[in-house]
Each structure stands twice: as C-alpha cells, then as structure tokens.
Amino acid sequence: MSYLEFQTEHDCCARTSCDDLEAGCVTPQPANDHDHDHDHAHGSHHHHGGSTRAMIVALVLTMTLMIVEFVGSFITGSLALLADAGHMLTDVAALALSLGAVWLTRRPANAQRTFGFHRAEILAALLNGLSLAGLSLYVIYEAIARLSAPPEVASGLLLVIASAGLLTNLVAAAVLVRSRNENLNARSAYLHVVGDALGSVGAIVAAGLMYLFGWYLADPLVSLGISLLLIWSAWRLVKDTVDVLLEAAPASIDVVAVQQALQTSRGVENVHDLHVWSVASNFVALSGHVRLKEMASDHQRILGELRHLLHSRFGIEHVTLQLEQPIRPEEPWRTEER
C-alpha cells in the first residue's frame, strides 16, 4: 500500500469538545472516497449567564454613581470629583461594550466565521484595557500639573460623595467578583470597578487630609499612586488580550508537556506540527500530527485516548489530530518531521 493510499484510508482527524468526550469515541462512517474522522460537535465554551447578570447590575450602579458625581463636582467645584465622574463615564462605556460583546459571542458560527464571534470578547477586553491605561495616563498628567499649585476643594461634601461612591463600587465589585475569572471580558469589567473603588478610597483619604489639615497637595499625590496601580492592571489585561489575538499558547498550558504526554501514550511514536492557541478565554484549541508506532486496527481507540488525555489533564476541549502511519524501511524518502 502506498503512502497516499494509507493517508486516504487510515488517517484520522478528530475535532472534539467536552460533549464528545462524555459521549465517548464513536467511529464515523466513511464519506464518499475518503475515510476521515471529523467530529465537529461543539459544546458551550463560555458560560456567560452569571457574568452577564453581574455586568448589568454593575452597569446600573456605575451609571447612577456617575450622575451623582457629575452633579456633585459642580456643587463642590472639585476637579478631582469631575475627573472621577469622567472615569465613571469610561466605565459605563466599558460595561456596555462588554455586554455587547457577550451578545455577539452567543451568535452562531457561519461559513465565514467558523469559530463564531468568540473573539468579540477579546476585542472588547482590549479596548477596555487601553481606555483604562489612557485614562490613568491623563490623571497622572493632571496630578503632576497640580503639584505646583493644588486648587482648593470643598472637602466636606467631597468626603460624603466619595464615601457614597466607595460603597457603590464595593457593591458592584462584590457582584462581579465571582464571575471575574470566567473570561477576559468579565475580568476587564471587574478591573474597571476596582479602579473606581480605589479612586473612591483615594478621594476619601485626600478629602480627609484637606478637611482636617487644609493640605490640598494630598489630592494629586493620591491620584498619582492610584493611577500607577491602574496602569499595571491595564498592562496585564492588554498583554493577555494581545496574546490571544496573536494566537500564543495559553500561559496555563505547557506545550512541551502536552507533546511529551502525547508521545508517551500507547501506540504513539512521534508528535509533530503541534499547535496550541486560544480562540477566546477558556476556549483552547489544539492541532497536531501523530505518527503511530505500528499499523493499528484500533486507531479510533487510540484517537479517543489521546482526546481524553488532552481534555482531562490539560483542559483542552477543541482538538484536531491527524494520525499517520509509521515510517517503513522501504520508504527512505519519508523523513521524521519535528
């Protein structure tokens, strides 16, 4: 049998999700003149119900607080409160953008977008991270400008409004904290709310110092400290989203360990052309070529074992593997791929 004939008759590609693993490995019927195994069923890669409800609640709370701070900034004459209200405005936009991305990811895949709209979540998280970094840089710029001549602020009313803002932000953060690790989108929304809470804490500290001691330099100094923390959080979020867009291997998965685990499995001689990437948060895909040690009549069982290994040990749900025949002595023209 020639190599090409073997490829047509025996090579197996498997694309699988959690549902497939629970159902077990089923040998498909051959189609036309090819005998390839294609398991295209897709399970639910995202569970957005909890994070969606949490973001809606956080959006309502943040929007209410934003209106209060805008009104309060004009009453007190506090530029710091107006800046914080502007921060709230970016949070409202970020939360609305995140909710829109969740809606997009629920749309089914089509012929042009075979993975659906899962990347919408990543794009929303990237925009949120960039907006958070941009706003932090603006606050740093304003704080440095105020160091030389800090303005006088109605610190008493500022203290009341900032305290109310902290309470509101803590409630919103408590709502989002359980779903923050579901995906990058939920995490970006959570970071925005945490940034607001830190801003409220800083405003309370600054208001207290100004109210008790008349030390108006506290406002720009506290703003600088908080902004540096927010920039670090924004940098990490942007880095994670860019890694997904560049189809880098997830940080939680050791690709070398995956290859070694596959190569030490029963009946496997070599694994090459191995690729691991993230389509979106918690949606990891893998493709690769697996050369068998010998011609095996139970190649479907070997394929099922490899799929189960990848899911149970590494949490990889979407798998495409192609099985290849072993190298024969009479076929010196075939070289070992790496």
Give the residues of the chain that fall short of pLDDT 70.
1-51, 77, 79-80, 83, 86, 90, 105, 182-185, 296, 328-338
Contacts of 61 (CB under 8 A, 6+ apart): 168, 169, 171, 172, 175
> How far is residue 298's CA from residue 20's CA, in Å, rounded to a whole number?
18
Strand partners, 283: 280
Tokens of 233: 């959080």
In tens, the pLDDT along 115-136 reads: 788 788 788 888 878 887 888 8
In this predicted structure, what is the pLDDT of residue 36?
Answer: 37
**Could you tell me which of 220, 184, 172, 211 has the C-alpha nearest to residue 66?**
172
In this predicted structure, what is the pLDDT of residue 320?
Answer: 93
**Could you tell me which of 184, 44, 176 has the C-alpha nearest to residue 119?**
184
Q: What is the pTM of this model?
A: 0.67
**Could you tell me which of 73, 99, 98 has the C-alpha nearest to residue 86?**
73
In this predicted structure, what is the pLDDT of residue 52?
Answer: 77
In this predicted structure, what is the pLDDT of residue 79?
Answer: 63
Q: List domains and CATH numbers for the chain.
A: 3-44+249-324 (3.30.70.1350), 49-245 (1.20.1510.10)
In this predicted structure, what is the pLDDT of residue 264?
Answer: 92
**Could you tell me which of 109, 107, 105 has the C-alpha nearest to residue 123?**
105
Q: Any idea what DSSP says for residue 251?
A: T
In this predicted structure, what is the pLDDT of residue 20?
Answer: 41
In this predicted structure, what is the pLDDT of residue 165?
Answer: 86
In this predicted structure, what is the pLDDT of residue 221?
Answer: 84
Q: Find how far residue 129's CA is from the centre of its chain.
A: 11
